[in-house]
Amino acid sequence: MKILVTGGAGYIGSHMVARLGELGHEVVVYDNLSSGHEWAVLSGRLVVGDLADRPLLKTVLSAGNFDAVMHFAAFIVVDESVREPLKYYRNNFANALNLVEACHEAGVKKFIFSSTAAVYGMPESGQVTENSPFAAINPYGESKAMVEKMLKDFSSAVSDFNYVSLRYFNVAGADEQVRIGQARRDATHLITVSLRTALGKRQELNIFGTDYDTDDGTCIRDYIHIQDLIEAHVRALDHLADGGDSRVFNCGYGHGYSVKEVVAKVKKVTGVDFPVVETDRRAGDPPVLIADSSRLRSELGWEPKHDDLGFIIKTAWKWEKKYQKSLGDNAE
């Protein structure tokens, strides 16, 4: 297949592009490099462009004769979305609308969307199914929910346009060959921040809230290795290629680890007892957020291979050491 991957120079998108190349697909990456990197594109051709540039987007799609589009380009920092909501609605929703319109004009009928568990907000039950209601509590989650609603309505109106929306839980880890990984200077994910603290790039790690109704008082999250997440996308692509209808899937392992458990495992893997400071809760953090991924397993035959927190952290640790070394004196 010939596939356009938006945001394919970023963390998750670059892993997708590498895997598509391994599978023999022809790939074109469309990325403005605001948080992605040209060196992370291991397969195909890179077009440097913004989704707000409708003429360029239309030209690329119309000339490409693409079989499918995989959309990863988005802003993802929750607290930034609260401070700058218009930035998030413009990029995450309005630009996704630009992309879907351009797909429609170019006759692209298969679309895979990178969504998030943030659409669920603070669910009453810690484990959510795809039928759990949308209840986003920040502009990031709301902007993703808006795209999902738009895709649902558009696929209902255009019978031969089908999409798969994949709701990510906590994506972590890196390519086992240590070619690519998380390369955002401002990364906020717990595992990456913990590893950078272990490397001495941060003075201390903050734990936000220790009084939640969990065994150790800290929040519990479902962590999924990026390569297992990418295989979910491969299954989704196969589903659409086989004429499958529009579907939504949770992407997680179905169990979680608390913040303190993750930090303890990072210390064990790295061998570094870095300083940790317990501080107040952050607004909007649900005590427990775990995926019910039974639909992904049963309908697409997804079978995770890396459901092991130690393995996830080890691959992230190998990558982080390489990445920080590459930055040299410019490292944070």
Question: For 197-215, how does the pLDDT look when each residue is reduced to its tens digit (9 = 90+)?
Answer: 999 999 999 999 999 999 9
Q: What torsion, rounded to 10 degrees, do the Cα atoms 140, 102, 112, 245 define?
A: 120
pLDDT band at 332 (very low <50, low <70, confident <90, very high): very low
pTM summary value:
0.96
Angle (CA) 280-89-231 rounded to 5° is 80
Which residue among 11, 140, 223, 323 is the active-site one? 140
3-state secondary structure the chain: CEEEEECCCCHHHHHHHHHHHHCCCEEEEEECCCCCCHHHCCCCEEEECCCCCHHHHHHHHHHHCCCEEEECCCCCCHHHHHHCHHHHHHHHHHHHHHHHHHHHHHCCCEEEEEEEHHHHCCCCCCEECCCCCCCCCCHHHHHHHHHHHHHHHHHHHCCCCEEEEEEECEEECCCCCCCCCCCCCCCCCHHHHHHHHHCCCCCCEEEECCCCCCCCCCCEECEEEHHHHHHHHHHHHHHHHCCCCCEEEEECCCCCEEHHHHHHHHHHHHCCCCCEEEECCCCCCCCEEEECCHHHHHHHCCCCCCCCHHHHHHHHHHHHHHHHHHHHHHCC
User: What does the mean pLDDT of the chain come to?
Assistant: 96
What pLDDT, in 10s, does the model give residues 241-285? 999 999 999 999 999 999 999 999 999 999 999 999 999 998 878
Report which of 293, 251, 286, 252 is spatially closest to residue 124, judged by C-alpha positions: 286
Res 316 pLDDT > 70:
yes
Q: How many CB atoms lie within 10 A of CB 106?
A: 20
Q: What pLDDT, on a 0 to 100 scale, did the predictor assign at position 331? A: 45
For residue range 120-167, list pLDDT tens digits in order: 999 988 899 999 999 999 999 999 999 999 999 999 999 999 999 999
Q: What is the pLDDT of residue 329?
A: 52
* Domains of the chain by start residue, with CATH: 2-172+222-251 (3.40.50.720), 190-221+254-324 (3.90.25.10)
What is the per-residue pLDDT across 19-61, written as a single tens digit (0 to 9) for each?
A: 999 999 999 999 999 999 999 999 999 999 999 999 999 999 9
- What CA–CA distance (Å, rounded) separates 289 from 134? 14
Q: Is 140 tagged catalytic?
A: yes
Q: Give the pLDDT confidence of 302-313 residue by residue, as tens digits.
A: 999 999 999 999
pLDDT for residue 124: 85
Nearest to residue 214, comparing CAs of 282, 121, 289? 289
pLDDT (0 to 100) of residue 283 = 80
Q: Per-residue pLDDT averaged across 99-107, rounded?
A: 97
Average pLDDT over residues 287-293: 96
Report CA 109 to chain centroid distance, whole Å: 23
